[in-house]
Amino acid sequence: MKSDEQAAAKALYKQLRALSWTQLWTVEVPQFDGSDPKERAARVAVIRAVGVVFAESGPEDLADAVRAWLRDLLKDPDEKIRRYAIAALPKVGAGLREETEMLALLQTTNSEREKKFLSESLEKIGTDQTLSAIQGQLLQTEQKTRAAVTRRDDPGRIEWSRSLAQWDGLRIHLRGRSGLETFVRDEVKSSRAFRVLDVLEGLVKVTPDQAFSLGDLYSLRCFGTVGFVLGDGTMEELPRVITSPLARGIFSTFTNGPIRYRLDFVGKGHQRGAVRTLANRTYAACQEILNDPRAALWSVDIHPLADKYLVEARPRTSPDPRFAYRRQYIPAASHPPLAACMAALAGNLDDEIVWDPFCGSGVELIECALRSRVRKLVGTDLSPEALGGSKENFAASEARSAEAEFILSDFREHQKIPELQPESVGLVISNPPLGMRVPIPDVRGLINDLFAAAAIVLRPGGQLIFTNPLRIERSPQTCLVRQSSQLVDMSGFSCRVERYVKVAGRK
């Protein structure tokens, strides 16, 4: 019987949800108000619909009237009606008056279910008034309310220039796509501030050799994400790890403002119960570190090990400051750390012409110019949208002082472009369409044509670096000799990042 009532309630809500705000407010609400208690209970979905539809299309001049109607429902003798009004109030912009009345109801109700609804709504709209009223009583509501109040008053920001003074023994995990570890390792080795400890699939473990800032760490461009290792332990020990002196030192150094974090059980999907329990226990251990899934500055990543968990603190940087120039995203365009790895593979490109035959969003060219003083960047593509994105991204980058030209052209017609004359180019670099997201009738033919074009335009000693979806035993152009080939995860399939060098005297 109960399931039949639930099905009827869902069907009614679906009908009400489709109504205009005017019809809902001027017809359905008066009908609901005038019904007998049994009919009101059956049509309680009207309250839910009012909250949702008003939030989408209700006129602002009716907001006070809508809130007053819902406040009156907080006094209804039917608990179900009160619960629906409690849930609807945050959607219509509940303020101090609504908060006060919900707090009063929280003190008088004996229903645990109603207390749960009140707590969830107060977590969304609560102010210092809520914090004062519930302090020490409802730990989860107190933490979520404090996080919301803090977020509204001072959202804070990541601090990039401040140096971490206590760095000795700190482990840092640089994570990225499988196959890019060697690029990350080599980049770390070329730095002065960090030292490689170990290299695993998709992970390079490093440690600092001196005091450093996040800006120093993010000067490395080949990794995907960075995690500061806070420690490990059983589930019961994790609050101690998250609030340890090491953790608080990292959070306070690299955060300007209150410390808010989001919990993530890596590879475990949604773990709401575990997140709630761990967040509450962590808050009980240290109230300065707030769990807040909304716009948090940090992620505390929980990685499962054999019999315990590894805890990492990861700055939540969006956009990634290293690639903030990427204003336009083109479907099938390169993942920026992959482009950075390809540019690093090319080495010094001072005074060279660099050509990307399939420039897409221009990331490979930009990364090359950020590493070297190239003479000129040339990008060709058949998509006007892609070229527009390349131009915008380039203009937003710190490489904008380099000379660059983005041309609507088939790469096979390179001879029509003055900069792409025979033996004039130092590097051909590209992540060509691989036939996955952008259909390519003949991928092998496309790759062969790319080799042919590179063999013509590259000077002796010039390089071809590209992502190759094919297994090629030897280069189709004898003058292009393969120097390296690295299998890389491309998010769902594998591809090879290959480097070829043009040898003089071969045809």
Q: Tens digits of per-residue pLDDT, 79-132? A: 999 999 999 999 999 999 999 999 999 999 999 999 999 999 998 998 999 989
**pLDDT > 70? residue 73:** yes
How much is the pLDDT for 332?
A: 66
User: Do the beta carbons of residue 21 and residue 53 sit within 8 Å?
Assistant: yes
How much is the pLDDT for 441?
A: 81
Q: What percentage of the chain carries pLDDT values higher than 90? A: 81
Model confidence band, residue 136 (pLDDT cutoffs 50, 70, 90): confident
Model confidence band, residue 435 (pLDDT cutoffs 50, 70, 90): low
Question: pLDDT tens across 242-270, in order?
Answer: 999 999 999 999 999 999 999 999 987 66
What backbone torsions phi and psi does residue 485 show, to the nearest 5 degrees? Answer: -150, 120
Burial (CB count <10 Å: 0-12, 13-18, 19+), residue 258: buried
Q: Which two tokens stand for residue 40?
A: 């009101």
Question: pLDDT tens across 327-338, in order?
Answer: 987 776 779 999
**177 closest CA partner among 206, 203, 207, 205:** 203
Q: What percentage of the chain carries pLDDT values higher than 70? A: 98
**pLDDT > 50? residue 421:** yes
Give yes or no for a cis peptide into 432 (omega within 30° of 0): no
CA distances from 399 to 123, 132, 396 (A): 46, 53, 8
How much is the pLDDT for 269?
A: 67
Helix (H, G, I), strand (E, B) or coil at 151: helix
**pLDDT > 80? residue 434:** no
In sequence order, what are the beta bridge partners of 494? 489
Average pLDDT value over all residues in the chain: 93
How much is the pLDDT for 1?
A: 45
**415 closest CA partner among 424, 405, 426:** 424
How much is the pLDDT for 319?
A: 87
* pTM reported for the whole predicted model: 0.86
Model confidence band, residue 139 (pLDDT cutoffs 50, 70, 90): confident
CA pair distance 225, 9, nearest whole angstrom: 46
Q: Which CATH number fits domain 158-315: 3.40.50.2300, 3.40.50.1110, 3.50.50.60, 3.30.2130.30?
A: 3.30.2130.30
Q: Which CATH number fits domain 2-153: 3.40.640, 2.60.120, 3.30.530, 1.25.10?
A: 1.25.10
How much is the pLDDT for 318?
A: 83
**46 closest CA partner among 30, 57, 59:** 30
CA pair distance 210, 199, nearest whole angstrom: 21
For residues 3-19, average pLDDT:
87
For residues 475-484, average pLDDT:
96
**Topology of the domain covering 323-502:** Rossmann fold (3.40.50)
- Segments making up each domain of the chain, as ranges: 2-153, 158-315, 323-502
**230 closest CA partner among 306, 300, 287, 159:** 300
Q: How is 118-148 classified by DSSP, letter by letter?
A: HHHHHHHH--HHHHHHHTTT-HHHHHHHHHH
Least confident range of 58-72, 156-170, 441-455, 493-507: 493-507
User: Do the beta carbons of residue 103 and residue 133 sit within 8 Å?
Assistant: yes
How much is the pLDDT for 437?
A: 60
Angular region, 120: left φ>0, alpha ψ -120 to 50, beta rest: alpha
CA pair distance 362, 41, nearest whole angstrom: 60
CA distances from 38 to 35, 78, 86, 103 (A): 8, 10, 20, 28
Can you give the length of the chain in residues?
507
CA pair distance 145, 150, nearest whole angstrom: 8
How much is the pLDDT for 156?
A: 93
How much is the pLDDT for 392?
A: 95
CA pair distance 10, 475, nearest whole angstrom: 63
What backbone torsions phi and psi does residue 202 show, to the nearest 5 degrees? Answer: 70, 10
The secondary structure element, H or E, covering residue 186 is helix 181-189
For residues 157-162, average pLDDT:
96
The secondary structure element, H or E, covering residue 381 is strand 376-381
Question: pLDDT tens across 200-209, in order?
Answer: 999 999 999 9
